Amino acid sequence: MNDTFLKACRGEEVDYTPVWLMRQAGRYMKEYQEVRSKVDFLTLCKTPELATKVTLQPVDILNVDAAILFSDILIPVEAMGMHLEFSDKKGPILGDPVRSKSGVDRLVIPDTEDSMPFVLEAIRMLRQELAGKVPLIGFSGAPYTLATYIIEGGSSRNFAHTKKMMYQNPGLFAGLLEKITATIIEYLSAQIRAGAQAVQLFDSWAGNLAPYDYENVIFPYVKTTIKALKKYEVPVIYFANDCAGILKVVKKCGADVIGIDWRVDMHKAVKKIGKKASIQGNLDPCVLFAPHEHIDERVQDVLNRAEGARGHIFNLGHGILPETPVENAIAMVEAVHRLSRK
């Protein structure tokens, strides 16, 4: 098996910088579109054979150094007791948003084997299919990010309902975060037991918080989650999107790898994190609309700025965009391998 990704996670010597992409199985690939055209999004997530198929597509087409399970961060939220649907125009919609004690009380901490067996079956199938190829990454949303969807009922511009609860009813907010944190720990533990060789915690909306609130209200739940997963001795990646204002706190999370979004100078991030963790990122996803020679230049720039890190996993600074030409994604992966090879 190509274990370059796992070695970089652990800060071990590698022959070249490994690369994978957030949302690497997705709409920018015609092969994905062909599968997706026959089923709705949730059915795709919940059918192990189909989830396996689309997870493998970018491994074969892009030649990336890791596969990431095809799923959605809101799958465990549905299992907690919320109605979930996806709209092509509005994105995720969660029925009856939780904004009261009764709402928090009705949420359960689900058993993954009982309520989300399709996730674990997909992982087991993928491990068989990926044998001798590349490692498999499992994932979940982070506590605050999942809380925003539960409270807002979907995506939000200003997260007003979430922050109202945080400021006006901190006890209720803490109770919700405790349930979510317990759910995430159980969910990712089950993924690891099923065969995930690394896990990533996506904190997509951490950057909308004031640094004070992130450090004092949210960060303890991040640390609790990561600490609980460390006993499995698989790499844990923590990605806090828009992390420039909170990076000095993020670096204390205990993760093996810290993901950096494209708004942060990678050299400064490496200096700030030091040897506490490996680093992941951080090309602007929109660079993949550029000519190949410019993609080469920008890949080289990220590689240069990541020098000195304990370990570096190349990635985009956020998910690949649906409009991205697949040949440009292939060119980026090839450039990372070529330009970083020792």
Tell me the C-alpha distance between 254 and 235, whole Å: 11
Tell me the C-alpha distance between 205 and 112, whole Å: 24
- The residue among 66, 73, 22 whose CA lies nearest residue 45 is 73
Amino acid at 118: F
The answer for residues whose C-beta is within 8 angstroms of residue 231's C-beta and 6 or more apart is none
Query: Helix or strand or coil: residue 320?
Result: coil
Q: Of 23, 99, 305, 310, which residue is the catalytic one?
A: 23
Distance of CA 334 to the CA centre of its chain: 23
Q: Of 149, 187, 214, 238, which residue is the catalytic one?
A: 149
The reply to whether 23 belongs to the active site is: yes
Cis peptide before 282 (omega within 30 of 0): yes
Q: Of 28, 32, 65, 72, which residue is the catalytic one?
A: 72
- Helix H segments across the chain? 4-10, 30-36, 41-46, 48-62, 75-79, 101-106, 112-115, 117-129, 143-152, 160-168, 170-194, 211-213, 219-229, 247-250, 266-273, 292-305, 326-340
Tell me the C-alpha distance between 219 and 209, whole Å: 11
Q: Of 3, 10, 16, 36, which residue is the catalytic one?
A: 36
Other beta carbons less than 10 A from residue 259's beta carbon: 27
Tell me the C-alpha distance between 227 and 97, whole Å: 29
Phi first, then psi, for residue 192 (nearest 5°) are: -65, -45
Residue 263: both structure tokens together: 């708004």
The reply to whether 36 belongs to the active site is: yes
Phi first, then psi, for residue 59 (nearest 5°) are: -65, -45
**DSSP line for 242-295:** S-GGGHHHHTTS--SEEE--TTS-HHHHHHHHTTSSEEE--B-GGGGGS-HHHH
Q: Of 3, 16, 27, 298, which residue is the catalytic one?
A: 27
The reply to whether 27 belongs to the active site is: yes
Residues serving a catalytic function are 23, 27, 36, 72, 149
